[in-house]
Amino acid sequence: MFRCGIAYPRCRWIAPLLLLFAIIFDIIAIGATSGWVEDEDAKSHYANMWKHCRGRNDHWDCKSLMKDPWAQAVAALMILGLLILIVAFIMSCVALCPTVNSTLLPLIGILLIIAVILQVIALIIYPVKFNELIFEGHYNYTWAYGFGWGATLLMIGCSVLFCCLPQYEDNMLGLTKTKYLYTSA
């Protein structure tokens, strides 16, 4: 006889783990020195959130993007989103790990939605303003920029999860019978 069930007490550890991955992805995106953007043809120009560099091999001429207001806004929004994400992660560990505190779960979901909004704005402003600043050639967005979007997508999923979890509080506490997806006769 094969039974496949959903064990909610074990599943509640997944949400803080996903938030931890989102934190790691955000740190990689914010701290990446290799660049968010690089030119497609000659590999002679790249830019990250903080600076853009031109040159070849070991001879690079780097200039800070932090003199531009749009770059300051992108950095501020990404860092603020990361800080809110860290607060949400700590709250999720408090709410889910030792015992279930369902009153914190919607608050965590709301914090994640705020962080998502901030980071989506930053991740849209960056390519628009970068293309206005640098208009020659074609540029590719690299893995570091992708990590920023990856963290944002994880936060979207977790915000939905945290908003829906209070409905399953009894299941997480083990007060209900396991629901089987498949039972054989």
pLDDT for res 59: 81
pLDDT for res 135: 62
Mean pLDDT of the region 62-84: 91
Binning pLDDT at 50, 70 and 90, where does residue 61 land?
confident
Rounded Cα gap, residues 6 and 149, in angstroms: 30
87 in a domain, yes or no?
yes
57 in a domain, yes or no?
no
127 in a domain, yes or no?
yes
pLDDT for res 167: 64
Query: At 120, which CATH number?
Result: 1.20.140.150
Binning pLDDT at 50, 70 and 90, where does residue 4 land?
very low
Mean pLDDT of the region 139-163: 89
Q: What is the pLDDT of residues 95-143, one digit of tens each?
A: 877 676 777 888 999 999 999 999 999 999 988 888 887 767 677 888 8
Of 84 and 36, more confident: 84
pLDDT for res 171: 60
Extract the tokens encoding 17.
């783990």
pLDDT for res 174: 60
Which residue segment(s) compose the domain that 153 sits in? 4-37+65-182
Give the chain's domain count.
1
178 in a domain, yes or no?
yes
Beta carbons of 134 and 1 less than 8 angstroms apart: no
93 in a domain, yes or no?
yes
Reported in sequence order, the residue ranges of the chain that DSSP labels E, i.e. its strands, are: 4-5, 37-39, 45-47, 51-56, 59-64, 139-141, 180-182
47 in a domain, yes or no?
no
Of 185 and 162, more confident: 162
Of 58 and 69, more confident: 69
pLDDT for res 2: 40
- Classify burial at 110, counting beta carbons within 10 Å of its beta carbon; exposed 0-12, middle 13-18, buried 19 or more: middle
56 in a domain, yes or no?
no
Is residue 175 pLDDT above 80, yes or no?
Answer: no
Q: What is the pLDDT of residues 8-59, one digit of tens each?
A: 566 677 888 999 999 999 999 998 777 788 877 657 777 888 888 887 777 8
161 in a domain, yes or no?
yes
pLDDT for res 77: 95
